[in-house]
Amino acid sequence: MLKQFRKIKKGEFFVVGCDCSMGCGDYSVAQFASKNWLDVPLVWSSKSSATEMTTQIYPVLEQLYESTGVRPLVAYERNNGGVFEMDRLAALNRLDKFEIFRRAEKDLDDGTISVSNKLGWDTNSATRPAMLESLKDAIDNKLLRLYDRVTVGELLSFVNIRTSTAWKAQAEKNSHDDHVMALAIAWKLVEMSESVEERKGKTGNEALERYNQRLNQIEASKTGY
Q: pLDDT tens across 56-88, in order?
A: 999 999 999 999 999 999 999 988 778 899 999
Region for 135 from its dihedrals, namely left if φ exceeds 0, alpha if ψ lies in -120 to 50, beta otherwise: alpha
Report, at the CATH architecture level, how domain 2-193 is classified: 2-Layer Sandwich (3.30)
- pLDDT-derived band at 46 (thresholds 50, 70, 90) equals very high
* HSE-CB for 155 with a 13 A CA cutoff: 18
CA-only gyration radius of the chain, Å:
17
Helix, strand, or coil (residue 39): strand
Is the CB of residue 144 less than 8 Å from the CB of residue 193?
Answer: no
Domain assignments of the chain as residue spans, ordered by start: 2-193, 197-224
Q: pLDDT tens digit string along 147-166?
A: 999 999 998 886 554 445 54
Look at the pTM and tell me if it is higher than 0.85: no
Q: What is the pLDDT of residue 160?
A: 52
